[in-house]
Structure 1
């Protein structure tokens, strides 16, 4: 982790997510006693809720990657349910000021893969409670000079951005933006992830070749640092902290709000899926589809809006019967029964391994791409 350009507040923020892997049961027990004293004090002075019961701490000690377990050594001492960013700041100030600072971790939906959302012997902050406190479905429409501070999803139509709480799901960000004919430019493949969670990683999908990852599409952040400072940062203000938090795996601060730029949403999309028996052919076509000039991409250069390649060893779980496409005869299936049989035969011929490339072209609405352009792509592929 590079820290050469980190500011003082950024460096201080490291204290709240230091690993406790080397901690012994006795030190964890002592830390838990200190945490309980601090939590009791916080609960008396904030609107936050605190749980130390086994059900809450066990749930907060596991994640999607299952590399962390729910045994006693991995459990947090408490789970903190804040009602606002100031509650989180109070917790972090208490940890920072303590003679024995304890680890604090922000948890969205627990989709981390290596325990980043856990805090053995420390405190896990349940970020979803911010939305519950504000009203889960609350949205607001504003102009460029007036943004609702209380809403956890606030669209500025004139400013072409959306302010989203760090706990908000990207699918809800999309719905709020689409209500005004707008959309973020860069996504993740799975939209039921939190804004703060993906911005703490990278946020990569098949649109990244054109717009960059999600961390390259942020205008401003509200961050709570490890010393409990509440900072609004951007490329122009506290830029070092801004750059450190984006993709920083939660080590430099907790994201409580992000301002995401929006663009006009296309009216329609044409989705293509191409199958290959070899990786070399797939990557060659992939290079053509993401090229930005005709010398490298030919007639397809610059037309594709989404390109992503995958390898599949289990057709039912990875291609035909997965979340991407229900198996035939389902009406939502991408394939007909004839297609499924042909794919199975191709897989057998290829030794059970297939490669596939997905691509999408957006058109209609504000897009410059026309239906004729889409037909050109279809014929060329």
Structure 2
């Protein structure tokens, strides 16, 4: 093995050099970066195994590259380690002594869960919902590791209210580049805490995260409204995140060349799809505002009236408002069905480039003309998901933004 020195037996025993294993661990969701193969794949069974590996590398005159791999959902090869070692974090699930998912209640902190960095968010949801609890902020896709999303940010339609997932972490255990296991929070080893959250995996490996929980709702009212005017669309989004009452606000572009029910969720009925297709043939590009309100048994009698008040005065196209009633879990896990459908068609393994941008409010109208209309629409560049949703600076505790209000854009193509 090149550049790795003489690995001790305790590390070698958990290392695979099988070419098939190496190839599989060198894939990611983006499928853009290829052939960055490691010299081996490491399968730890305990936190100490990872500490031993990093300490060994750190003590070498020339340390080798180590990359922690969760669910492999990176898009630019971030979880690859050319000529180094990949650490398969999901291997920790094989040892019951590791953190896993543990739920607690504290008089000061309220409800929280201590969660292993290797755990998938869908498993966190399933474990907490058994106690009628749930984290407050999510990503649209739940088959991602806790450590992976916290190393990025974790942004979705709840961000305007609760901030990204990194805002809802109370404490972490992190293995640093020296192989030290450090507990950190905003008050203890805070420099490491804020560096690791959103640090793209460059400041340490997240072993445990303490996640804020709250009482979980039972069901959701899921509403979509269509617009042919981008200015009205964005103004209504801004209005909805400025008032109390909603739990999720997102939005998307609808293009004539795209599927009306895209792979991320099946929402519109066949009759509504026909109605929308007719409208798209006239406009070519439309904007879909999406909002959700949670409810439970205590509010089931008033939820419809509350929604009427929330949409009153919005400038969507008359007759083009649609709603769906589903369970809280089904809503959060809505992308899974689309994933399974793509897998059945052999389309989940194709390149999935994804770009996230934060665009200031002052430039949003120009962005619509220059990108959405002059590039995506005119050149028919993509048929994938294009998400458009608002967020507020005040919900970001990491001082990431200086402008008062931003719109977050996510782009999905070649699906």
TM-score band (shorter)? Answer: 0.7 to 0.9
CA contact (8 A) 1:362 1:369 kept: no
CA distance in 2, matches of 1:259, 1:359: 28
SS across alignment from 2:188:
coil
- CA-CA distance at 1:378 after TM superposition: 5.2
Partner of 1:331: none
Q: Map of 1:104-183 to 2, 5 A cutoff?
A: 104-134=66-96, 150-158=98-106, 159-183=110-134
The equivalent position to 2:144 in structure 1, one of 193, 207, 220, is 193
The equivalent position to 1:61 in structure 2, one of 26, 32, 35, is 26
Partner of 1:88: 50
CA contact (8 A) 1:266 1:366 kept: no
Q: Map of 1:42-57 to 2, 5 A cutoff?
A: 42-43=10-11, 49-57=14-22
Q: Is the counterpart of residue 35 in structure 1 residue 19 in structure 2?
A: no
Structure 2: 5+ residue stretches without partners:
315-415
SS across alignment from 2:95:
helix
The equivalent position to 2:250 in structure 1, one of 308, 316, 320, is 308
- Bigger strand share: 2
- CA-CA distance at 1:124 after TM superposition: 0.5
Q: Is the counterpart of residue 263 in structure 1 residue 208 in structure 2?
A: no
CA distance in 2, matches of 1:110, 1:96: 25
CA contact (8 A) 1:265 1:366 kept: no
Query: What is the TM-score normalised by the length of structure 2?
Result: 0.71
- CA-CA distance at 1:85 after TM superposition: 1.1
- CA-CA distance at 1:37 after TM superposition: 2.2
CA distance in 1, matches of 2:158, 2:168: 12
- CA-CA distance at 1:275 after TM superposition: 1.5
* Structure 1 residues 375 and 280: CA distance shift in structure 2, 3 A: closer
CA distance in 1, matches of 2:181, 2:300: 42
SS across alignment from 2:224:
strand
CA distance in 2, matches of 1:113, 1:233: 28
CA distance in 1, matches of 2:105, 2:122: 18
CA distance in 1, matches of 2:301, 2:176: 44
CA distance in 1, matches of 2:257, 2:222: 19
Partner of 1:337: 270
- CA-CA distance at 1:36 after TM superposition: 6.1
Partner of 2:171: 220
Q: Is the counterpart of residue 210 in structure 1 residue 143 in structure 2?
A: no
- Bigger helix share: 1
Deviation readout 1:290-337 (Å, 9 max, x if unpaired): 01xxxxxxxxx21111000111336754x4152300xxxxxxxx3222
- CA-CA distance at 1:114 after TM superposition: 1.1
Deviation readout 1:29-61 (Å, 9 max, x if unpaired): xxx3342622x43336xxx62101211111222
CA distance in 2, matches of 1:366, 1:214: 28
Partner of 1:359: 291
SS across alignment from 2:246:
coil
Q: Is the counterpart of residue 103 in structure 1 residue 65 in structure 2?
A: yes
* Structure 1 residues 315 and 267: CA distance shift in structure 2, 3 A: farther
Q: Tell me the C-alpha RMSD between the 2 structures.
A: 2.1
* Structure 1 residues 320 and 33: CA distance shift in structure 2, 3 A: closer
* Structure 1 residues 341 and 104: CA distance shift in structure 2, 3 A: same
- CA-CA distance at 1:354 after TM superposition: 2.1
- CA-CA distance at 1:67 after TM superposition: 2.2
CA contact (8 A) 2:47 2:98 kept: no
